[in-house]
Structure 1
Amino acid sequence: MTAVTIPSTTVSDAPPATGPTAAGPAEPLGAETAAELLIRLAATPSGDRRRARLRDRAIEAWLPLARHLAHRYSGRGEPTDDLIQTATVGLIKAVDKFDPERGVDFAGYAIPTIIGEIKRHFRDRTWSVRVPRRLQELRLAITEANSTLTHTLGRSPQVSDIAVHLGVTEEEVLEGLEGARAYNATSLSTPISADGTTELGDTLGGEDHEFELAETRVALGPALAMLDEREQKILTLRFYGNLTQSQIADQVGISQMHVSRLLARALTKLRGELEPML
């Protein structure tokens, strides 16, 4: 059993290494703290005209946190601007759903929300080939299991080790590893020969037009069997032996005119047998 190799480009499901208090810059200050803005926002009725302004100010006050978290995931193949935009969406969701009365500080609530939005962005937008979400989530679970087992076992885990750790079958682990290959695509222009003259695209097969004739060939056998022996011989000499009608006449011992009539009759019979089948 070989050890498991995990693709390097991953977005781990593990929580950030640093705690909520170190997740971003210090809480921004203005005429009132960002935390106070959220308390006022929660206390303002939905019909109050001041609510929209308070919401905008609260989002703006906490934007440094969203930008900081977005930068932590930069360098993984996605433009930083896209990550900041995604993190901002997560921040807006956190502001809209935050309830100060639950006794949780906003940073502790917003950080998982924002990171979850960033991970969904990687899951839904960055795969070169779309695979089922089940395989995407399985890939992340395998990545985490691989890291954990490498530490506890002191070696690279095997497929069986990961299967036991995750409580799935070995076939499911292999399916998840195969699905992980769809995260990144290789260009067809990638050189694959030592001198660089052969590209990956050159190794791909082309369209085989012989497949179009496969059904005709299958139907041709029974149709030929309907001809008499002399008709079969004449057709064989003409279309497989590439003989002229004169050469066929010499071999069969009949006139060229007779060969022509027999060919026409044999082809008419074949056409009548094949047309209902095609």
Structure 2
Amino acid sequence: MPVSIVPVTTSPSAGSERRSELTADLFDRIAATDDPSERARLTDEVVLANLGVADAIARRYRRRGTSADDLEQVARLALVKAARSFRPDRGHDFLSYAVPTIRGEVRRWFRDHGWVVRPPRRVQEAQLRMTPYAAEFALQHGRDPRAADYVRDLELDEATVTEALAVNACYSPDSLDRPVDPQGDAGPSLGDRLVGEDSAFERCEARHMLEPLIARLAPRDRLVLRLRFAEGLTQREVGEHIGVTQMQVSRIIARVLGQLRVELGVDLPVGSLAA
């Protein structure tokens, strides 16, 4: 169910220190009351006070082919979960608990819902670590990170980094209906550029299976097949070449093809013999 939360009505300039103080005070009040409705109300205020944190985490994963609203909802739900389960008596600041919780929920959502074409799990997890790292690196260094930067700072192996960099399109691959020319809508689409079924592959496979079978044929049978299908002679011309009638050539071809079909257990593409 979508989470509809109205931002807290505090000054937009309120900094992290003010938010931390407000959050700590709210949790103190939660611990001091036994009224369930009051605890729920105060927990809602914790969520409102830290809403900007959840939204900021969601923004780091935008522009990945997924809905910004979906990301925001996932992050906010994770914030609610963190606020309800946080225990101040364990001596931790709320955000030190909430931020990993929110980030983990967003990453899990990406892992389960964000991929159109699903790569291996290790690549998914590496890619999700690399995305926020790349944004921070670009801000600090004024350029995109190279593979070596990911390997060094994230302690990933080079092969995984290479695969992860290559799977960006798995989030949202181009539609086959997208025009090849982005400036015009009337031109050919990506789908139009895809080749259809190529019978050459089928013929190649058939020839590969036929080679050992043809090698076992009688010399005259092999000659008839070569003349008829490889050199393209007519049955009459084949008969003249080997000294038999056209009818005999027809019978030889029918017998040999029938034999090959039985041994292969499949129909023979005629073109497969033209080699």
Contact map agreement 1:234 1:248 (CA 8 A) in 2: yes
Gaps of 5+ in 2: 1-14, 269-275
Q: Distance in 1 between matches of 2:258 and 2:166?
A: 54
Cα shift at 1:90: 2.0
> Residues 98, 259 of structure 1: CA spacing in aligned structure 2 closer, same or farther, 3 A cutoff?
closer
> Residues 154, 251 of structure 1: CA spacing in aligned structure 2 closer, same or farther, 3 A cutoff?
closer
1:76 aligns with 2:62: yes
Query: TM-score, normalising length from structure 1?
Result: 0.63
Amino acid in structure 1 at the alignment position of 2:109: H
Q: How does 1:69-108 map to 2 (within 5 A)?
A: 69-72=53-56, 73=58, 76=62, 79=67, 81-83=69-71, 85-104=73-92, 106=94
SS in 2 for 1:82: helix
> Residues 205, 20 of structure 1: CA spacing in aligned structure 2 closer, same or farther, 3 A cutoff?
farther
Find the counterpart in structure 1 of residue 224 from structure 2. Answer: 234
Aligned-pair Cα RMSD in Å: 4.3
Q: Distance in 2 between matches of 1:264 and 1:119?
A: 64
- Greater mean deviation of Cα atoms: 255-264 or 142-151: 142-151
Cα shift at 1:217: 1.6
Contact map agreement 2:62 2:68 (CA 8 A) in 1: no
Please list the CA deviations of residues 80-129 of structure 1 after superposition, one character each: whole Å capped at 9, or x if unmatched.
65345424432342233222323556566545544543454345433443
Find the counterpart in structure 1 of residue 179 from structure 2. Answer: 191
Q: Distance in 2 between matches of 1:143 and 1:81?
A: 19
Q: Distance in 2 between matches of 1:124 and 1:162?
A: 24
Q: Distance in 2 between matches of 1:222 and 1:133?
A: 43
1:182 aligns with 2:174: no
Please list the CA deviations of residues 196-221 of structure 1 after superposition, one character each: whole Å capped at 9, or x if unmatched.
42322233333334434444322322
Find the counterpart in structure 2 of residue 65 from structure 1. Answer: 49
Contact map agreement 1:38 1:58 (CA 8 A) in 2: yes
Contact map agreement 1:23 1:68 (CA 8 A) in 2: no
Q: Distance in 1 between matches of 2:118 and 2:150?
A: 24
Find the counterpart in structure 2 of residue 39 from structure 1. Answer: 31
Find the counterpart in structure 2 of residue 130 from structure 1. Answer: 118
Find the counterpart in structure 2 of residue 6 from structure 1. Answer: none
Q: Distance in 1 between matches of 2:218 and 2:191?
A: 50
Amino acid in structure 1 at the alignment position of 2:48: P
User: Match for 2:213 among 214, 219, 223?
Assistant: 223
> Residues 163, 214 of structure 1: CA spacing in aligned structure 2 closer, same or farther, 3 A cutoff?
same
Amino acid in structure 2 at the alignment position of 1:76: R
Find the counterpart in structure 2 of residue 21 from structure 1. Answer: 18
Q: Distance in 2 between matches of 1:152 and 1:81?
A: 28
Cα shift at 1:239: 3.8
**Structure of higher RCO (CA pairs closer than 8 Å, 6+ residues apart):** 1
> Residues 169, 101 of structure 1: CA spacing in aligned structure 2 closer, same or farther, 3 A cutoff?
closer
> Residues 240, 150 of structure 1: CA spacing in aligned structure 2 closer, same or farther, 3 A cutoff?
closer
SS in 2 for 1:216: helix
Q: Count matched residues.
A: 246
1:204 aligns with 2:190: no
Amino acid in structure 1 at the alignment position of 2:44: E
> Residues 120, 267 of structure 1: CA spacing in aligned structure 2 closer, same or farther, 3 A cutoff?
closer
SS in 2 for 1:190: coil
Between the two proteins, what is the percent identity of the paired residues? 37
